Structure 1
Amino acid sequence: MDIAKGLTYLHEESRQKIFHLDIKPQNILLDEDFNAKISDFGLSKLIDKDKSQVVTMMRGTPGYLAPEWLSSIITEKVDVYSFGVVVLEMLCGRKNLDRSQPEEDMHLLDLFKRKEEEERLLDIVDKYNDDMQTHRAEVVEMMRVAVWCLQSDFSRRPSISVVVKVLEGSVDVQINLDYNFTTPVARRPITVAGHQGDAIGATTPLFASALSGPR
């Protein structure tokens, strides 16, 4: 909720729109009361209120990049996509890339899609979180919130303010969600983990997340 409300301020309430462009666990800090704070605006972009999209070079962290980055024409929905990845990581208690897992389970979105097809989403609820294990049905419902944020067609994703309303219980998650997540492939040098010009090969899938620490 704290993350979604923070993004709502950036997207809709500040004097200019702010696209963060690098939402990931390392850029979410907790204060002494465990309130979440969005940090590290090194890749963010200011957008005039009357504009809905912007053309920019691909930037961000592999694993959290929305498919539309391939076109270089992006909206605030790229942050919504990244938020969806973070939510799934929280619910499953693992990173979106875990090389300690068998090859078919390394990438969280691939594993999630397969478990959904098998109707076995309960298998990937965080096994080390007693509260989530006690309320697994609610966790699976929260997974649907993440899936809505991860729609390959950005126009089908909710605004982050609608996500807040879903979390508050005043809006229902959209039905007929698409679980065929599209993962972008870089075709030009991109900004990875804050280093301008780090080149990703044209055939390198960006779901292979290279995570950095706080900067």
Structure 2
Amino acid sequence: MWMQAGATVKCDVYSFGILLFEILGRRRNLDETAPESEQWFPKLVWVKYESGRLLEVVETCDGADEQDKKTADRMCEVAFWCVQQQPEARPPMGVVVKMLEGEMDIAPPANPFQHLMATPKVANMWTTVTSSVNTVSTGLGSQASLASSTFSSSRVHSACMV
């Protein structure tokens, strides 16, 4: 029950993009034995693509010529379009076929893994935690205030540890 809405056409396009990566690299898209930065192949391909070193990750056969390299680049760009994070940004399968066959030009793809690479900007709300101290106006005075303060602090600490 991981997918409540069921499979869609856009899921098929995404899966096809992953398949293109696996064909290009001659490996599965996830390799847990690889170093962490190289475990998920599509993300590694993007990093190499962005830096102009795509051929480092694309397994070429002996004797690959310039046309083979262009085909690999084309497949890679199509795969990036297929695995865009937002389903609406993925092309329909008919367009994917036309791009692969060279009938359509391929616009430079947007980074489909931006959501995985960006450092999240989260405000650190725990640096300004203040405890509310309930003072009991019986004869206990500061001891009741101290006990209440200690209890509030330990609750905040426990909540952070969960």
- Pair in the same fold by TM > 0.5: yes
**Residues 1:102 and 2:50 aligned together:** no
Query: Any stretches of 5+ residues in structure 1 without a counterpart?
Result: 1-56, 60-68, 184-215
Deviations 1:102-155 (A, max 9, x none): 22111102211221232211111114x336x43223211221011111111211
**Would the aligned equivalents of 1:97 and 1:107 in 2 still touch at CA under 8 Å?**
yes
Deviations 1:139-182 (A, max 9, x none): 11221011111111211111111112222322222x24212325
SS in 2 for 1:89: helix
Aligned length, in residue pairs: 113
Could you tell me which residue of structure 1 aligns to residue 50 of structure 2?
117
Q: Normalized against structure 2, the TM-score is what?
A: 0.60
Could you tell me which residue of structure 1 aligns to residue 109 of structure 2?
177
Name the % identity: 37
**Would the aligned equivalents of 1:125 and 1:136 in 2 still touch at CA under 8 Å?**
no
1: CA distance, partners of 2:52 / 2:92: 28
2: CA distance, partners of 1:115 / 1:139: 13
Q: Which has the higher strand share?
A: 1
Corresponding residue to 2:97 among 164, 168, 178:
164
Flag as ranges the 4+ runs of structure 1 deviating above 6 A. Answer: none
SS in 2 for 1:142: helix
Work out which structure has the larger RCO, using CA pairs closer than 8 Å and 6 or more positions apart in sequence: 1
SS in 2 for 1:125: coil
Alignment of 1:23-34 (within 5 A): none
2: CA distance, partners of 1:85 / 1:143: 10
Deviation at 1:77, TM superposition (A): 0.6
Q: Normalized against structure 1, the TM-score is what?
A: 0.47
2: CA distance, partners of 1:179 / 1:101: 23
Q: Which has the higher helix share?
A: 2
AA matched with 1:126? E
AA matched with 1:58? W
Q: How much is the aligned-residue C-alpha RMSD, in angstroms?
A: 2.3
1: CA distance, partners of 2:83 / 2:2: 18
AA matched with 2:40? H
Alignment of 1:16-95 (within 5 A): 57-59=1-3, 72=5, 75-95=8-28
User: Cα 1:82–1:120, aligned 2, differ >3 Å: closer, same or farther?
Assistant: same
SS in 1 for 2:91: coil
Deviations 1:182-209 (A, max 9, x none): 57xxxxxxxxxxxxxxxxxxxxxxxxxx
1: CA distance, partners of 2:48 / 2:100: 24
Corresponding residue to 1:126 among 31, 56, 59:
59
